[in-house]
């Protein structure tokens, strides 16, 4: 089971690139949903055995990250009738290149970190770092409020991957707490999106700068 | 390396390429619910073209005629460096992969110049697109070569693809998946397939490769078609050996495996062409950069 | 003996312009005498340099000829003389009575000074020769000194070259402090603090990099190359900027135990120069500026080879040193050959059409078939396409970079992974750029009256080009022949490179390149034969170009060079910063509209000029101090004295 971790993480990293390079909101959300499902699978794989808790945890992650939140986002697109294209501040090619650079740096940097013996050579740390970076990149370079939510999700996924390092040490309560945290955050953001759209009749975060006074 | 093996290699290289076009066409027809042209249609086209007279624009010079010839010659020569299936290629030396890539560049130089020789706006446009996209495809190809060279510790295509390929999958599967994906994108772009280019569209404005050859007719057009098919064949052979490195032990069975594999790959291309819509032209560079990143990531995985 | 031959050659070149001064300004005899002297000098010089490879002569304290000198001497003599012959017809003294003699004089002097730099064994001799070279080149660039743009380019060159000389002063001062003499001999590791070596390395990189035109230091190069007469551009691009490479190589060979990061820095600079050089070339509309930016690109490729060789020296990997240096040195030759070929053919075009604007040309392949063919060969060679010489040197560098894959050190690993795709991209971009240049200048239909009335160049001009084409083909097809000379050059640079018994011919399958090149030529010939036969058999109807049904295609409908490069320029707009003036929105019945795009140099026009303007603005606010009133000046002196008194 354990040797499945790296292929799954490679797929997670590729989905990061997909989220960075895709021009359609739907594609981006699909990529994030798939990433969520893969992370759920990762929980089981990382525990290395089918305990009831691991399976429950995986189910929770898959339902929340893979099904529930994406549906929420799709719902938001329909309800608030957002245009279906991502509006990047920097171009798609530039975002892809930055993402690639971030991944390369993450790999190089993770080689210098003092990590537990059994994780040396595994992709967990580089994948976590680069997913977090990708999340930040999406947060900082996309205009729409809904892509902000996506960026936050990716960021959170990165932190989730970090959690795989502590799979023995971390009690399930904490993991579930993290998931709950995510849920609340998305919920709040959903409300904010609705607010933005009602106030400004668009959902571009650019308009928020008029509140700076 | 037996003489018989060389002969089989050369015969396959010269005869099989048009068949791939037929398989792709048939697959697309199947998806469209049509009967489609016969499998050997490309052969019939070639034979017919070589017997037709041609119209040559009075603005052109020798460059216009050099384009098809150089394009075909470079594709044939490049085909001699690629191992087909598990068989060594007829010619191989350390560093032949560089010559392989640069031969295609030579072909591109002359086909694009030939397009500019007509003085047509459309052909200039096609030539510009062709050479521009190759600027991004070339690094992706070389990133892929880097991975293969690192895995095999050798610098000739035969040694890179032949012996160690089956074992490499166990050692560095993730890297090879990435390289294969990247090479597949490069293959589709360089050979002007959907979703990056559509040779069958009726609008010259949107084409890449086909619009370059608008003015060629008769035998010259035949040479271009044949050269393009051969380029497709050669690049498919490179990809096939990476994704399906099967050896049976018997050399003649291996030839069979290779031929069947090539046809299957052509079907995959046909399926991709059938189920995907064409991307906006401005997105082609994005995909090529993504292809570069994929294989670059493949090296990073090996580097760790 | 061999030294005497080379010195004779240098003297002959130096005085080659002098006889012309004795004749009338527009007389033909002077220039013919000058060409004769220069040709004789070249024959003597090449004989002497090749002989010195086998008959070693004792080094004196002033001059020393080793393998590295010979590598650089050969193209200096060869290209200078070919350019000199070309000048007979291109810059006839009868046509240019006011600057023809000046051009001949300084052309000979610059050649002699270049050769003298390469054989100097002493820093003082080196600097004297260097300065003669730099100043003569200034007078060559400003040949047409009546033109403001020419004077301005010359001015930028003069500043840049003196900045370089300043760095060299610092460099040789450090050398003197380390060894106690001005002799250019290897230093020992413990002689001075390692920081001094690092300072010397950086000074050399900046000083020689300025001369060679490495990317951030290239500001003088495009203007100077574009403004000089074409055979001078050929000489400058072909050999003069290589002297920067020579100086850098010579100095690096003196410094002991280079740390790994030196190689890394050189590689990074090389990659930057290579990629950005060709990208800037793509944005140009001026044929000679385009070629000038390609010089920056090719210097970048040479630098990548040197970087690899430096890494090899640090890691004691002889295969890196051999392949990297062989590639770099061969590319020095190759670039000299194909770039002078391109500049000479560009000169023929300019001579025939009186314009350098690519978008004014077109269709010249019909009126100038020989020039078009030679330009095509040069273009294919500079793109590194087989079977020409550019491919061989790039092949060696690629091979060396691939070799670094199985070195243990992580640093070289990333360097290689970084440089190989970059080199591939440089190659593909160069193809794009030269398809654009060749296509827009020679193919299609003439775009202006200038181009319509073009005529083929005289044989005095096409002859030297043909000779260069011959050299390009010869090196491309039989690289084995040049391998021994290259090995002599490498041995002079790093004697330890041959300790392990490896040889260049063992590492690089040069024989196979001959076979592949021959096979390619056979296949192309066969294909042309088949096509010609089929065309004859099936009949050819002449027609007009198919423009999607439009029956009267015009020259203005052709794709221009700017549109051809537009996609790449847009992809790289983050560094090119093109200025685009798009036409305003039009009413239903549109009026005539203008579209204009321009790519200016990022360092000169983007950084240096604005910062100098800013500096001028700040300092000009102090101008009120200079009142022109003697009392005020005396008052300043008093004020200054009082300040001094108070300070103590």
- At A77-89, the pLDDT tens digits run 777 666 667 777 7
Which is more confidently placed, B195 or B266?
B266
A104 inside 8 A of chain B by CB: yes
Q: Kind and range of the H or E element at C540?
A: strand C540-543
Residue B95 to residue C366, Cβ atoms within 8 A: no
Residue B294 to residue A14, Cβ atoms within 8 A: yes
Examine the domain organization and report whether C348 and C468 are in the same domain.
yes
Picking from C577, C608, C632, the residue at the C-terminal end of a domain is C577
* Contact residues, C window 415-454, toward B, CB-based 8 Å cutoff: 416-417, 420-425, 427-429, 431-432, 434-436, 438-440, 443-445
Contacts of B174 in chain A (CB under 8 A): 6-7, 10
Angle between helices C242-254 and C100-119 (to 10 degrees): 20
B256 inside 8 A of chain A by CB: no
Q: Kind and range of the H or E element at C630?
A: helix C630-647
Residue A99 to residue B293, Cβ atoms within 8 A: yes
- Indicate whether A203 pLDDT > 80: no
Examine the domain organization and report whether C433 and C501 are in the same domain.
yes
* pLDDT the model gives residue B209: 85
Cβ contacts from B onto C, under 8 A: 264
What distance lies between CA C17 and its chain's CA centroid?
Answer: 24
- Is there a domain that residue A177 lies in? no
Contacts of B213 in chain C (CB under 8 A): none
- Is there a domain that residue A172 lies in? no
Angle between helices C100-119 and C67-90 (to 10 degrees): 170
Q: Are C252 and C264 in contact (CB under 8 A)?
A: no
B14 inside 8 A of chain C by CB: no
Examine the domain organization and report whether C356 and C483 are in the same domain.
yes
Residue A99 to residue B285, Cβ atoms within 8 A: no
Distance CA C110, CA C161 (A): 14
Q: Where are the alpha helices (DSSP H) in C142-257?
A: 148-179, 194-212, 221-227, 230-235, 242-254
Sign of dihedral through CA atoms C67, C71, C72, C76?
Answer: positive
Q: What is the ipTM of this complex?
A: 0.95
- Indicate whether A179 pLDDT > 90: no
- Which of B146, B156, B188 is closest to B301 using CA atoms? B146
Distance CA C310, CA C307 (A): 5
B26 inside 8 A of chain C by CB: no
Picking from C518, C544, C577, the residue at the C-terminal end of a domain is C577
Residue C559 to residue B95, Cβ atoms within 8 A: no
A109 inside 8 A of chain B by CB: no
Query: Which chain C residue has the Cα nearest residue B221?
Result: C531
- Is there a domain that residue C504 lies in? yes
Q: Mean per-residue pLDDT for B89-107?
A: 93
- Is there a domain that residue A144 lies in? yes
**Which stretches of chain C score pLDDT less than 50?**
none
* pLDDT the model gives residue A111: 73
B135 inside 8 A of chain A by CB: no
Examine the domain organization and report whether C562 and C613 are in the same domain.
no
Examine the domain organization and report whether C430 and C309 are in the same domain.
yes
Examine the domain organization and report whether C312 and C457 are in the same domain.
yes
* pLDDT the model gives residue A54: 78
Examine the domain organization and report whether C566 and C622 are in the same domain.
no
Distance CA C420, CA B28 (A): 38
Distance CA C133, CA B252 (A): 68
- A128-146: b (≥16 Cβ within 10 Å) or e: bbbbbbbbbbbbebbbbbb
How far C393 CA sits from the closest chain B CA (Å)?
12
- Is there a domain that residue A22 lies in? yes
Q: What is the dihedral of CA C178, C179, C180, C183, to 10 degrees?
A: -130
* Residue with tokens 């020689």, as numbered in its chain: C208
Which is more confidently placed, A114 or C560?
C560
Q: Are C221 and C233 in contact (CB under 8 A)?
A: no
Residue A23 to residue B283, Cβ atoms within 8 A: yes
B201 inside 8 A of chain C by CB: no
- Is there a domain that residue A118 lies in? no
Query: Which chain B residue has the Cα nearest residue C553?
Result: B120
Residue A100 to residue B301, Cβ atoms within 8 A: no
Q: What is the percentage of chain A residues whose pLDDT exceeds 90?
A: 5
Distance CA C582, CA C598 (A): 12
C476 inside 8 A of chain B by CB: no
Contacts of B106 in chain C (CB under 8 A): 380, 385-386, 520
Query: Which chain B residue has the Cα nearest residue A9?
Result: B174
DSSP C259: -
Q: Which three-class secondary structure state does DSSP give residue C575?
A: helix
Please tell me the pTM assigned to this model.
0.91
How crowded is residue C355: how many other Cβ atoms within 10 Å of its Cβ? 16
How far A70 CA sits from the closest chain B CA (Å)?
24
Q: Kind and range of the H or E element at C542?
A: strand C540-543
- Cα→Cα distances B143→B26, C423, C426, C513, Å: 33, 11, 14, 23
- Is there a domain that residue C441 lies in? yes
Examine the domain organization and report whether C629 and C484 are in the same domain.
no
A200 inside 8 A of chain B by CB: no
C541 inside 8 A of chain B by CB: yes
Examine the domain organization and report whether C379 and C507 are in the same domain.
yes
Examine the domain organization and report whether C363 and C477 are in the same domain.
yes
B56 inside 8 A of chain C by CB: yes
Picking from C542, C577, C612, the residue at the C-terminal end of a domain is C577
Q: Are C303 and C266 in contact (CB under 8 A)?
A: yes
Contacts of C429 in chain B (CB under 8 A): 135
> Band of the pLDDT at A176, cuts 50, 70, 90?
low
Query: Which chain B residue has the Cα nearest residue A19?
Result: B290
Q: Are C281 and C435 in contact (CB under 8 A)?
A: no
Whole domain around residue C645: which residue ranges? 600-648
C505 inside 8 A of chain B by CB: no
How far B175 CA sits from the closest chain C CA (Å)?
14
- Is there a domain that residue A40 lies in? yes
- Indicate whether A134 pLDDT > 80: yes
Contacts of C467 (CB under 8 A, 6+ apart): C82
Cβ contacts from A onto B, under 8 A: 45
- Is there a domain that residue C279 lies in? no
What does the pLDDT look like over B48-83, one tens digit per residue?
A: 999 999 999 988 999 999 999 999 999 999 999 999
Contacts of B139 in chain A (CB under 8 A): none
- Which of B150, B182, B173 is closest to B293 using CA atoms? B182
C174 inside 8 A of chain B by CB: no
Residue C564 to residue B127, Cβ atoms within 8 A: yes
- Is there a domain that residue A117 lies in? no
What is the residue-averaged pLDDT of chain A? Answer: 78
- Is there a domain that residue A173 lies in? no
* pLDDT the model gives residue B163: 66
Residue B290 to residue A6, Cβ atoms within 8 A: no
- Indicate whether B258 pLDDT > 70: yes
Contacts of A23 in chain B (CB under 8 A): 283
Helix, strand and coil in chain C, % to nearest 5: 75, 5, 20
- HSE, CB side, 13 Å, CA atoms: give it for residue C528: 13
Examine the domain organization and report whether C524 and C607 are in the same domain.
no
Query: In a 10 Å sphere around its CB, with 0-12 CB exposed, 13-18 middle and 19+ buried, how is residue C480 labelled?
Result: middle
Q: Which three-class secondary structure state does DSSP give residue C89?
A: helix
Q: Mean per-residue pLDDT for A154-172?
A: 76
- Is there a domain that residue C158 lies in? no
Q: Kind and range of the H or E element at C541?
A: strand C540-543
**Count of structural domains within chain A:** 1
Contacts of C445 in chain B (CB under 8 A): 59, 119
Contacts of B131 in chain C (CB under 8 A): 428, 431-432, 435
Distance CA B76, CA B42 (A): 18
Whole domain around residue A59: which residue ranges? 2-112+123-167+182-207
- Is there a domain that residue C474 lies in? yes
> Band of the pLDDT at B139, cuts 50, 70, 90?
very high
- Is there a domain that residue C4 lies in? no
- Is there a domain that residue C136 lies in? no
What is the residue-averaged pLDDT of chain B? Answer: 90
Examine the domain organization and report whether C571 and C628 are in the same domain.
no
> Band of the pLDDT at A68, cuts 50, 70, 90?
confident
* Contact residues, B window 150-179, toward A, CB-based 8 Å cutoff: 173-174, 177-178
In this complex, the residue of B99, B135, B214 whose CB is nearest that of residue C546 is B214
Residue B124 to residue C519, Cβ atoms within 8 A: no
Subunits close to C (at least 3 CB pairs below 8 A)? B
Query: Which chain C residue has the Cα nearest residue B69?
Result: C527
- Is there a domain that residue C236 lies in? no
Angle between helices A69-79 and A172-200 (to 10 degrees): 0
How far B295 CA sits from the closest chain A CA (Å)?
11
- Cα→Cα distances A51→A1, C1, C430, Å: 14, 90, 60
**Count of structural domains within chain C:** 2
Q: Are A170 and A136 in contact (CB under 8 A)?
A: no
């Amino acid at each position: 089971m354990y040797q499945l971790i790296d292929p799954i993480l490679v797929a997670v990293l590729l989905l990061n690139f997909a989220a960075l390079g895709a021009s359609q909101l739907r594609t981006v959300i699909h990529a994030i949903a798939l990433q969520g499902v893969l992370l759920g699978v990762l929980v089981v794989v990382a525990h290395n055995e089918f305990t009831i808790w691991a399976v429950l945890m995986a189910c929770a992650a898959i339902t929340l990250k893979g099904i529930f939140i994406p549906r929420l986002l799709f719902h938001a697109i329909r309800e608030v009738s957002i245009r279906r294209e991502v509006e990047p501040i920097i171009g798609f090619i530039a975002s892809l290149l930055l993402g690639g650079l971030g991944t390369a740096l993450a790999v190089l940097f993770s080689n210098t970190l003092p990590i537990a013996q059994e994780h040396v050579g595994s992709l967990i740390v580089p994948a976590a770092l680069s997913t977090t970076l990708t999340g930040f990149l999406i947060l900082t370079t996309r205009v729409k409020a809904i892509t902000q939510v996506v960026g936050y999700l990716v960021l959170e996924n990165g932190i989730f991957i970090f959690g795989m390092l502590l799979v023995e040490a971390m009690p399930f309560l904490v993991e579930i707490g993290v998931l709950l945290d995510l849920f609340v955050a998305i919920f709040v953001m959903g409300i904010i999106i609705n607010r933005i759209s009602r106030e400004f009749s668009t959902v571009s975060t650019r308009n928020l700068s008029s509140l700076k006074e | 390396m037996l003489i018989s093996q060389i002969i089989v290699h050369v015969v396959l290289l010269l005869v099989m390429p048009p068949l791939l076009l037929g398989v792709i066409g048939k697959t697309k027809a199947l998806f469209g619910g049509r009967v489609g042209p016969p499998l050997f249609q490309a052969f019939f086209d070639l034979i017919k073209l070589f017997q037709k007279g041609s119209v040559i624009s009075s603005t052109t010079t020798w460059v216009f005629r050099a384009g098809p010839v150089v394009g075909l010659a470079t594709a044939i020569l490049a085909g001699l460096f690629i191992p087909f299936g598990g068989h060594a290629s007829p010619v191989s030396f350390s560093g032949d992969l560089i010559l392989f890539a640069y031969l295609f560049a030579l072909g591109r130089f002359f086909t694009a110049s030939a397009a500019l020789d007509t003085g047509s706006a459309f052909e200039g446009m096609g030539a510009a697109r062709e050479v521009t996209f190759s600027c991004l495809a070339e690094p992706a190809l070389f990133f892929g070569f880097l991975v293969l060279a690192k895995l095999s510790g050798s610098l000739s295509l035969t040694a890179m693809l032949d012996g160690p390929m089956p074992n490499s999958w166990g050692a560095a599967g993730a890297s090879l998946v990435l390289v294969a994906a990247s090479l597949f994108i490069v293959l589709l772009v360089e050979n002007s397939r959907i979703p990056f280019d559509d040779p069958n569209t009726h609008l010259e404005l949107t084409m890449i490769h086909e619009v370059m050859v608008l003015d060629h007719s008769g035998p010259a057009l035949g040479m271009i078609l044949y050269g393009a098919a051969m380029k497709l064949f050669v690049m498919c052979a490179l990809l096939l050996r990476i994704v399906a490195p099967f050896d049976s032990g018997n050399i003649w069975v291996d030839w069979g495996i290779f031929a069947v594999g090539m046809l299957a790959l052509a079907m995959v291309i046909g399926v991709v062409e059938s189920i995907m819509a064409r991307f906006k032209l401005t997105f082609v560079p994005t995909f090529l950069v993504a292809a570069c990143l994929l294989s670059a990531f493949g090296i990073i995985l090996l580097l760790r | 003996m061999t030294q005497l031959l080379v010195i004779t050659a240098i003297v002959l070149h130096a005085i080659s312009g002098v006889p012309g001064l004795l004749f009338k300004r527009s007389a033909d005899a002077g220039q013919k005498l000058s060409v004769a002297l220069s040709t004789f000098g070249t024959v003597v010089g090449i004989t002497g340099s090749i002989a010195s490879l086998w008959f070693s002569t004792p080094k004196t304290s002033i001059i020393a000829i080793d393998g590295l000198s010979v590598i650089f001497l050969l193209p200096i003599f060869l290209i200078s003389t070919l350019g000199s012959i070309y000048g007979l017809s291109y810059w006839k003294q009868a046509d240019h009575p006011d600057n023809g003699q000046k051009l001949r004089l300084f052309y000979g002097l610059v050649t002699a000074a270049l050769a003298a730099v390469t054989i100097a064994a002493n820093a003082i001799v080196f600097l004297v020769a260097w300065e003669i070279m730099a100043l003569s080149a200034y007078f060559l660039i400003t040949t047409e000194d009546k033109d403001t743009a020419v004077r301005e380019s010359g001015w930028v060159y003069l500043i840049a070259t003196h900045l370089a000389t300043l760095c060299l002063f610092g460099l040789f001062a450090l050398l003197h402090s380390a060894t106690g003499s001005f002799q250019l001999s290897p230093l020992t590791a413990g002689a001075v603090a390692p920081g001094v070596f690092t300072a010397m390395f950086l000074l050399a990189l900046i000083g020689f990099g300025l001369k060679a035109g490495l990317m951030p230091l290239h500001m003088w190069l495009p203007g100077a190359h574009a403004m000089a007469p074409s055979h001078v551009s050929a000489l400058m691009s072909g050999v003069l900027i290589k002297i920067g490479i020579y100086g850098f190589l010579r100095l690096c060979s003196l410094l002991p135990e280079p740390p790994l990061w030196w190689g890394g820095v050189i590689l990074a600079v090389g990659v930057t120069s290579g990629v950005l050089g060709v990208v800037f070339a793509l944005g140009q509309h001026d044929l000679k500026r385009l070629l000038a930016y390609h010089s920056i690109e090719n210097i970048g490729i040479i630098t990548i080879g040197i970087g690899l060789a430096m890494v090899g020296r640090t890691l004691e990997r002889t295969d890196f040193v051999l392949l990297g240096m062989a590639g770099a040195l061969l590319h020095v030759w190759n670039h000299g050959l194909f770039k002078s070929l391109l500049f000479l053919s560009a000169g023929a075009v300019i001579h025939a059409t009186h314009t350098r604007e690519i978008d004014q040309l077109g269709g010249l392949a019909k009126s100038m078939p020989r020039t078009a063919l030679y330009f095509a060969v040069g273009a294919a060679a500079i793109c590194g396409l087989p079977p020409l010489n550019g491919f061989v040197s790039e092949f060696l560098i690629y091979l060396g970079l691939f070799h670094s894959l199985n070195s243990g050190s992580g640093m070289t690993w990333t360097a290689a992974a970084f440089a190989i795709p970059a080199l591939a991209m440089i190659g593909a971009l160069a193809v794009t750029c030269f398809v654009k240049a060749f296509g827009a200048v020679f193919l299609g239909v003439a775009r202006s009256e200038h181009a319509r009335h073009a005529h083929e160049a005289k044989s005095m001009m096409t002859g030297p080009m043909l000779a260069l084409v011959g050299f390009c083909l010869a090196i491309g097809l039989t690289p084995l022949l040049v391998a021994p000379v290259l090995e002599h050059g490498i041995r002079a640079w790093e004697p330890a490179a041959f300790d392990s018994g490896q040889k260049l011919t063992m590492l690089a399958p040069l024989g196979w390149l001959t076979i592949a090149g021959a096979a390619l030529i056979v296949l192309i010939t066969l294909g042309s034969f088949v096509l010609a036969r089929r065309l004859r058999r099936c009949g050819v109807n002449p027609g007009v170009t198919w423009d999607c049904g439009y029956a009267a295609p015009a020259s203005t409908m052709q794709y221009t060079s700017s549109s051809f490069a537009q996609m790449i320029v847009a992809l790289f707009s983050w560094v090119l910063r093109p200025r685009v003036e798009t036409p305003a929105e039009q009413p239903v019945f549109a009026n005539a509209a203008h579209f204009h795009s321009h790519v200016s140099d990022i360092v000169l026009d983007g950084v240096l000029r604005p910062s100098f303007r800013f500096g001028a603005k700040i300092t000009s606010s102090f101008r009120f101090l200079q009142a022109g009133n003697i009392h005020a000046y005396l008052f300043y002196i008093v004020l200054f004295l009082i300040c001094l008194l108070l300070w103590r």
